[in-house]
Homo-oligomer: A and B are copies of this chain.
């Protein structure tokens, strides 16, 4: 079978480099038949040139056309759903149903449609008009965006269909997608539909480009190239930090989602009140997708005494009673074992699991470790190693003071949860711990496990470094996620007919919220300057 082509500059063409790779079937560990190219710098260079030209064209493209592309692409994905689901299942071992067919694929097309609606409506631009000074500003496209997706969501975070992709496109930026080499065929099918949808809707054909893999040095070179506008990355901390260093040095905005252990604090009163329920919730959250979610609860903080030991035994029993699923890849299995070993070396003890399971395919025993609070404080960094997969670490603090110290040593995380009782017994402890946890996480939860990230305007799938690269932005939740791939543009004394439609006196669609002289309004700018009342 010949090597698959890459999508560059408006055509499927043979990749320039000579290296190739095969994806693996995680249930068997065997290579899959299709051969994919590792692109070299020639491919990147061509893609960057084509993206720069497409960026110029897209800046002049009305949002209606961009929205029509996003909707058409969603339809096309639905038209090819069964093939996509089968292929993603083959490449990732994620279940066809409900996960791929009933949850992730609909979420992906929903994201495309939400992004289309956001592009059409335009409020994401935060258009701001000072009528007296004739000063008008809004968010505008950044330029070509390099998107690198993760292994764990073959649809919803796919670099050519997922969250970063839809956000970058909805703003009006071309995307250069680097597929994750764990699911290249799924990515190829998606890119085929994206490409066809571009043609259907008359968008520049280089608005979406895709390569399958890249040497790390070419990725870094790409991230600092002057033709690039910005970067969206979801993946490992080590890979993210390399891209960040390159992008930062070149002054390119880079949005990373790198790693998170998602601490869950369970207070004593909550355990007395409902330890069985919480054990069930926790185990369910831990094992969802075999723990291969960015928001999987990897670190639980308990206080010694009370029902803590009963809770631990219950969790242990539940973990032991659940069959482990197949992990995404050999690499995930290796990293998971390494993470659990790092915990053990730092003084954590195995409650259950802790070992890989025999093949075929990649499996790890459902795993729980525990460590005392004072041991955690001595090796806080090592004990926050992300063990991506079905493993969690319990930290048992001696008392409230030690629990607070543990929380203060936490790195930046995507999420942090506190469970407390409903009658006030935990309130004093909550008041001590909540502010400390709050400032260290992007999304703060009460009485709820962190998995399940709603695509909704108030969502924050972000957080302080090293969970992400900037604590002011979210990767999920529309339209907020669009603002990452935008630059702030101000128009000072620009003649009315030369203003972009979103900043002209007349509200271009009657729906866009604009901040006119300090008032949010959907009206036109009136002759006296202020918004007309609707």
Give chain A's interface residues, CB within 8 Å of chain B: 56, 59-60, 128-130, 133, 135-137, 139-140, 142-143, 244-245, 248-253, 412, 415, 430, 434-435, 438-439, 442-448, 454, 456-460, 462, 464-466, 469-474, 480, 483-484, 486-495, 498, 513, 515, 518, 520
Contact = CB atoms under 8 A, between A and B. Distances in A.
B434 A460 contact: no
Given A445-B493, A492-B445, A248 B248 contact: yes
A412 B60 contact: no
Copies in the complex: 2
Contacts of A128: 457-458, 480
Contact of A470 (B253, B454, B464, B518): B253
19 contacts: A56-B435, A130-B454, A133-B458, A135-B458, A137-B474, A250-B465, A251-B466, A415-B492, A439-B487, A442-B490, A443-B490, A445-B492, A445-B494, A446-B492, A447-B495, A448-B492, A462-B488, A473-B488, A474-B490
A129 B498 contact: no
Given A444-B490, A491-B444, A135 B459 contact: yes
Given A456-B135, A458-B129, A515-B457, A488 B465 contact: no
Contact of A444 (B59, B442, B489): B489
Given A245-B248, A444-B492, A472 B457 contact: no
A252 B494 CA distance: 36
Nearest to A474: B488
A458 B137 contact: yes
A130 B520 contact: no
Contacts of A487: 439, 442, 464, 471-472
Contacts of A486: 472
B133 A456 contact: yes
A327 to B, nearest CB: 28
A129 to B, nearest CB: 6
